[in-house]
Amino acid sequence: MDRSPGGRATAAPRLFDTGNAVDTRSKILEAAFRRLATEGYAALSVREIAKDAGVNHALINYHFRSKDQLVIEVLDAANRRLLARQSAMYGAPGGFAEKWVKARHFYETDFGSGFVRVQAELWAASLSNAELRAKFVPRLLAWKQLVLGVEREALVVSEGHGVVLPETFTAEVIACWLSEFWLGMEFADLLGVKEEQVAHQHALDAVQALLERLDARAQATRAPPAAARRAKAPAHAPKRRATTAARKATSSGRRR
């Protein structure tokens, strides 16, 4: 069990489904992920990974060629699963506030699983390793592109309900704020800075409250459903029938 930034105990789910299979690559990836999440990149040992995976260490070189390629494939395997999860959540029905709550829950899960530390470890290692940096940066930018796409859609929906921000508040600007805030929060949470964690929770709560207000406004401005419009129709029918009868009587009078 691990602790989330909010202090709740969370299970550490496996990111690589080894199951009962004898998939050597998956076993190595899982073992490398665990080592990265608990000991960090600097202490990563290929022999220890092989020991944890129950394989000969020569198989790691055979499958991955180098330690850096191994850790990048660890990140890729985790990213594929987690990016798909985020995309499915944002694409599903529901208000912005509801999705914000889910995103916060996902973060706690990812923190507890060790993914947040793995990504931070590779970020730090890439500062002094140009080859690793060239491979790591595109993986990081994939998350930022996901956030940008969500913000573009959110602005279109908000403007459709009459919420128009100043021109300078573009999707790119808002996505930048959110992405950089979240990355900064991750590092502070990993360091265990309690004061910062409290401040971050307040900031997340504030955004949630704002999104709840936007959702409420969108709900209030949404057109009534077709069933409701049909229910109102009989109230106008007598008036239309009376008008039609009057026209017929007038026309009959003219003919007479």
Reference 207, options 60, 72, 100, 116; nearest CA is 100
pLDDT digits (tens, 9 = 90+) for 32-65: 999 999 999 999 999 999 999 999 989 999 999 8
Residue 121 has pLDDT above 70, yes or no: yes
3-state secondary structure of 2: strand
Q: Are 29 and 11 in contact (CB under 8 A)?
A: no
Task: Return d(Cα 108, Cα 2) in angstroms, integer.
Answer: 10
**Structural domains present in the chain:** 67-222 (1.10.357.10)
pLDDT digits (tens, 9 = 90+) for 168-225: 999 999 999 999 999 999 999 999 999 999 999 999 999 999 999 988 988 887 655 5
Q: Are 4 and 112 in contact (CB under 8 A)?
A: yes
Is the whole model's pTM more than 0.85, yes or no? Answer: no
Task: Return d(Cα 67, Cα 41) in angstroms, integer.
Answer: 10
Reference 188, options 39, 5, 40, 3; nearest CA is 5
155-168 average pLDDT score: 88
User: How high is the mean pLDDT of the chain?
Assistant: 83
Task: Return d(Cα 140, Cα 37) in angstroms, integer.
Answer: 17
When pLDDT is cut at 50, 70 and 90, the band that residue 241 belongs to is very low
Residue 230 has pLDDT above 70, yes or no: no
The DSSP secondary structure of 90-154, one letter per residue, reads HHSSS-HHHHHHHHHHHHHHHHHHTHHHHHHHHHHHHTS-HHHHHHHHHHHHHHHHHHHHHHHHH
Residue 11 has a pLDDT of: 46
The DSSP secondary structure of 30-66, one letter per residue, reads HHHHHHHHHH-STT--HHHHHHHHTS-THHHHHHHSS
Query: Would you give the end-to-end CA distance of the chain in angstroms?
Result: 94
pLDDT digits (tens, 9 = 90+) for 123-137: 999 999 999 999 999
Residue 60 has a pLDDT of: 93
Residue 164 has pLDDT above 70, yes or no: yes
